[in-house]
Every structure is written in structure tokens, then in C-alpha cells.
Amino acid sequence: MPLNAVIEARGLSKVFHTTVRRPGLGGALRSLVSPERVAKVAVRDVDFRVGRGELVALLGPNGAGKSTTIKMLTGILTPTSGEALVAGVVPHRDRERNAHNIGAVFGQRTQLWWDLPARESFAILRDIYGVPEDRYRERIDEYDELLELSEFWDTRVRHLSLGQRVRCDLAASLLHDPPVVFLDEPTIGMDVVVKEQVRRFLRHQVEERERTVLLTTHDMTEVARLAERVVLINHGRIVLDGPLQEIRRRFGGTWQ
Ligand SMILES: Nc1ncnc2c1ncn2[C@@H]1O[C@H](COP(=O)(O)OP(=O)(O)OP(=O)(O)O)[C@@H](O)[C@H]1O
Ligand SMILES: [Mg+2]
């Protein structure tokens, strides 16, 4: 366990309440009159800590609770119970301070303005976060060098390919130099060459910039290349927290 935890989840739980729709016309009418409410426990009593400069992979099958956990840690969702603490801030309570401390990428959804070229979104984010012009230029140059963005950053985001768009999202999430970064499927839709480029980029961010990174992925090659520590979650519960070798030992052939 890291001593100086930058990301901390303490007994974190999230229950979603939804209404189920019964089948058929009669069912639909009955659902309208007396909706059947069901509770879904997406995350259950999750505890873990990530130390400064650590890169940890949050793994698990579809529906395990990875994105829900990340949404609570980024302040998008309020936990049903338990507490999240990120760089000393309770994310959902102090969203503004939290926004300055963290960068976040949700691979499945862009944070950029759909109708603007990516570079214009970067400029808007620069103004929102009050990044000084010289720093902004330095960072843009660095991210362009590492992620090769300039060949498409003048194209509207809606016309970018998935892999291009996520690379722009990655750069955008780091423009304000946050110490903590949450990446939910950051290499989704990327070909193997670009995936490797993004991994190098992330390693650079951790090793040279001392950022703390929590990421999710379904790509075990990525985990092997990037993360020393893995938190495995299933049905909302943590089933393992330890070095990658331990997963390999416990789950053998089913994990690469
Ligand atoms: N807003 C919501 N309302 C109701 N149920 C939800 C909501 N968001 C997530 N869930 C449910 O919570 C569970 C966990 O979902 P979550 O998105 O955290 O999984 P995940 O581990 O990120 O999966 P994936 O690998 O497919 O991205 C799922 O059963 C999902 O259906
Ligand atoms: Mg998810």
C-alpha cells in the first residue's frame, strides 16, 4: 500500500435505481401504473489507494463497475456510501478544485466540442483553466510530438476517427497539468502502432511528470506494458489488488 495516497476509495459503493419495463402492451401499461423499481449495486464497498507517481490498472469484465468507480472518483457521480478522496479533495463536493487537480478521459465519450476543430477546443480549455500562453505552447508542442496531433487537429472533432479523437482527448485532459489522471479505456479504437505510441506517452507522463494515473482497459498487453499494479473488480467488488504477476499466477491461462 502506498504511503502517500493521492487517490483513495474508502468503502465506496454505488447503487443505481431503475424501473423495469414489463414485456408486451399489458406489461407496458402495468409498468406505467405501478412501475417496478429495482436496485442495482454497481460498486460495493470498494477500498484502494494509489500513491503519487503510480500507474494502476483497474480491470474487470463488462459491467464490473470500473466506469462507475472512475465516475465517483472524478466527481461525476455521488457515491451512495463511502468516501472518495483525490489529491485531498472530495470530488463530488468540491468539483471546481477537483477539476484543477485531475484530468479525465472517457474513451467512449469525448469531452471536446463536437463541432469545433480539436485545436480550438484546446484554446477554450486553456482559457477555462487559465493556462499561461507560454506554458500552453510548450505543452501543445510536447503532446503533438508524442501523439502526432497536428496532422488532424484542425479537423472538426466530429470528423475525426475514434483513435484520432481519443488522442486529442488525452492531450486536452493534460493541458492544465493535473497531478492526477483518470483514463477510462484510453486506447479504445486505436491500431497497434498508435496504442504503443499512447503507452509511451503515458509512461512519459508518469515517469517524467510524476503524474498519478488510474486507467481501465480490456487490453492485457497494455496492462503488461504499463501497469505494475492491478486492481481487479468483478460484480462491483475488488477481488484482487496486487502486482500483475499475481493475476497471472491466480488466473493462469485465461489472462495473457
Ligand atoms: N446510470 C446507470 N443507471 C443504471 N445502471 C447503471 C448505470 N450506470 C451503470 N449501471 C450498471 O452498473 C453496472 C456497472 O457498470 P459500469 O459502467 O461501471 O461497468 P464497467 O466495468 O465500466 O463495464 P465496461 O467494461 O463494459 O465498460 C452495470 O451493470 C451497469 O448496467
Ligand atoms: Mg466502462
- Residue 86, beta-bridge partner list: 7, 89
**Could you give the CA distance from residue 214 to residue 89 in angstroms, rounded to a whole number?**
16
Q: How far is the CA of 236 from the centre of ligand 1 (A)?
A: 9
Asked if the structure places residue 17 within a domain, the reply is no
Rounded to whole angstroms, how far apart are CA atoms 35 and 169?
Answer: 39
- Domain with residue 230: its CATH number is 3.40.50.300
Residue 142 Cα to ligand 1 middle (Å): 35
Q: Please tell me the predicted confidence (pLDDT) of residue 253.
A: 54
Q: Which residue is associated with the grid cell 485532459?
A: 173
Rounded Cα distance between 39 and 72, Å, is 18
Instruction: Give residues (CB < 6 A) around ligand 1.
Output: 16, 18, 40, 42, 60, 62-68
In 3D, which of 238, 235, 205, 202 has the Cα closest to residue 219? 202
pLDDT for 27 equals 85
Domains identified in the chain, total number? 1
What is the rounded distance in angstroms from the CA atom of residue 169 to the CA atom of residue 251? 33
Q: Is there a domain that residue 204 lies in?
A: yes
Task: Compute the chain's Rg from CA coordinates.
Answer: 20
Among 62, 68, 69, 223, residue to substitute to test ligand 1 (most atoms within 8 Å of Cβ)? 68
Whether 195 is in a domain gets the answer yes
Residue 108 forms part of a structural domain: yes
Residue 88: partners with Cβ closer than 8 Å, 6 or more residues away: none
Mutate to test the pocket of ligand 1, among 13, 14, 15, 16 (most ligand atoms within 8 A of CB): 16
Within a domain: 106: yes
- DSSP 8-state class, residue 35: P
Please indicate, yes or no, if residue 65 is contained in any of the structural domains.
yes
In 3D space, the residue among 253, 196, 252 whose CA is nearest the CA of residue 225 turns out to be 196
Q: Maximum distance among all alpha carbons in the chain? A: 65
Q: Whose grid coordinates read 483513495?
A: 8
How do the pLDDT tens digits run along the chain, 256 residues long?
455 799 999 999 999 998 888 888 888 888 888 888 899 999 999 999 999 999 999 999 999 999 999 999 999 999 999 999 999 999 999 999 999 999 999 998 999 999 999 999 999 999 999 999 999 999 999 999 999 999 999 999 999 999 999 999 999 999 999 999 999 999 988 899 999 999 999 999 999 999 999 999 998 888 888 888 999 999 999 999 999 888 778 776 555 4
Span from the CA of 45 to the centroid of ligand 1 (angstroms): 16
Atom of ligand 1 nearest to the CA of 71: 18
Domain that holds residue 70: 5-11+48-254
In a domain, 34, yes or no: no
Closest CA to 186 of 217, 231, 155: 217
Contact 202, 209 (CB under 8 A): no
The ligand 1 atom nearest the CA atom of 108: 27
- Would residue 18 count as lying in a domain? no
**Secondary structure of residue 117 in the 3-state scheme:** strand
Half-sphere exposure of 199 (CA within 13 A, CB side): 18
